[in-house]
């Protein structure tokens, strides 16, 4: 199995809490990952109530690459407010 890892850095002249809030709001994901659309937390109850974003939570999105779109399932691998936000894809 091949692993793919990526990272990027940019300096943003805004308070850390504002930047953190933007990056961890799934509705903003397509604004910083162009290939992603329709991100949504995974419902965890029969009533369809979504969980909150944190370590271990799951979500999905559509991902378009080379003209093909597929669903991707993610898990939040690490989450420390204002410090760490790591996401891993589980399939897709």
Q: Output helix, strand, coil percentages for the chain, rounded to the nearest 5.
A: 15, 40, 45
Exposure of 44 in the CB half-sphere (CA atoms within 13 A): 9
Specify the pTM. 0.77
How large is the average pLDDT for residues 7-21? 88
Among 20, 40, 21, CA closest to 30: 40
31-58 average pLDDT score: 81
Per-residue pLDDT band at 16 (split at 50, 70, 90): very high
Q: What is the mean pLDDT of the chain?
A: 87
Backbone phi and psi for residue 37, each to the nearest 5 degrees, phi listed first: -145, 160
Asked if residue 5 has pLDDT above 80, the reply is no
User: How far separated are the first and last CA of the chain, in Å rounded?
Assistant: 14
Place of tokens 């994901």: 29
């Amino acid at each position: 199995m091949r692993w793919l890892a990526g990272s990027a850095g940019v300096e943003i002249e805004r308070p850390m809490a504002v930047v953190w809030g933007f990056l961890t709001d799934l509705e903003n994901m397509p604004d910083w990952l162009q290939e992603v659309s329709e991100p949504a937390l995974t419902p965890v109850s029969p009533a369809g109530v979504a969980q909150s974003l944190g370590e271990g939570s799951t979500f999905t999105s559509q991902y378009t690459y080379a003209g093909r779109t597929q669903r991707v399932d993610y898990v939040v691998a690490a989450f420390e407010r204002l410090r760490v936000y790591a996401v891993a894809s589980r399939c897709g």
